[in-house]
Amino acid sequence: MDQARSVSGLLQLPAQATACYVLAHGAGAGMTHSFMSALADGLSQRRVATLRYQFPYMEQGSKRPDRPALAHATVRAAVGAAARLTPALPLFAGGKSFGGRMTSQAQAETPLPSVRGLIFLGFPLHPANKPSDERALHLSHVRIPMLFLQGTRDALADTGLLTAAVARLGDIATLIPIEGADHSFHVPARSGRTDAQVLAEALDALVAWMESQTDYPGR
């Protein structure tokens, strides 16, 4: 990030990659968590590169997330690194829960160079059992396409509130509900589907959306 502070990152670059996704982790688990690894592996199989990275608090072993200003600076540093490492690839950014929200806040404040779209894997619209859409207010300042992949059983995003928030953003935003999934994209056994099948469904939708945005003039 700068001479005084740095964080770890993991680049997965498949052969004949078609895009790169700068992938931030959630508040409670870092870039090597099994879910993050499964995301990166699944995207690699679909010819999408990923750059995973740690926020400083996770790098230091703390459980308290960084203040927004530091988190935003980390997002910017990761996006810059991805642009240098994969200069020929269309660039997207976002991530899981907290990581996705910090990315959107950074983009709303000052556009992230070369990023063509934001992708949220479980946008944390509100704390559990405290429905509100205040965390979505900054999204009106984002001027690039956004994709929301959201479980319909997500306790951190009331379906009605999120649907309305995305609708207010207009054509720039797309919501793809993942039926029966919770905030971790887990589905109950009675659903008749496995978590692996749900993740594959989400990744197929993510890659298809990326492909639809490749001609978009990123900012």
The model's pLDDT over 47-80, given as tens digits with 9 standing for 90+, comes to 999 999 999 999 999 999 999 999 999 999 999 9
Q: Which domain holds residue 59?
A: 9-212
pTM value is 0.94
4: in domain: no
Pairing outcome for strands 9-12 and 115-121: unpaired
Q: Reduced to 3 DSSP states, what percent helix, strand and coil does the chain have, rounded to the nearest 5?
A: 40, 20, 40
Tell me whether residue 94 is in a domain: yes
For residues 93 and 104, give the distance between their C-alpha atoms in angstroms, rounded to a whole number.
9
Q: How far from chain centre, in Å, is Cα 130?
A: 22
Q: Is residue 193 part of a domain?
A: yes
User: Alpha-carbon torsion 156, 161, 164, 165, what sign?
Assistant: negative
Q: In the chain, how many domains are there?
A: 1
In a domain, residue 3? The reply is no
What's CA 111's distance to the chain center, in Å? Answer: 16
Q: How many whole angstroms separate alpha carbon 185 and alpha carbon 182?
A: 5
Residue 157 placed within a domain: yes
For position 216, what pLDDT does the model report? 44
Sign, CA dihedral 119-105-187-194, equals positive
Is residue 39 a part of any domain in this protein? yes
**Rounded Cα gap, residues 214 and 192, in angstroms:** 34
d(CA 95, CA 158): 19
| Most distant CA pair in the chain, distance | 52
Statement: residue 219 has pLDDT above 60: no
Q: What CA–CA distance (Å, rounded) separates 192 from 30?
A: 30
What CA–CA distance (Å, rounded) separates 77 from 75? 5
Q: Quote the pLDDT of residue 142.
A: 97
pLDDT of residue 191 exceeding 90: no
Residue 171: CB partners within 8 Å, gap ≥ 6? none
* Pick from 103, 100, 120: nearest CA to 112: 103
Burial (CB < 10 A; 0-12, 13-18, 19+), residue 81, is middle
Higher pLDDT, 5 or 136: 136
Q: Does residue 167 belong to any structural domain of this protein?
A: yes
- Residues 123, 97: contact at Cβ < 8 Å? yes
Residue with tokens 């509130």: 161
Residue 217 is predicted with a pLDDT of 43
Q: How confident is the model at residue 1 (pLDDT cuts 50, 70, 90)?
A: low
Tell me if 219 is assigned to some domain. Answer: no
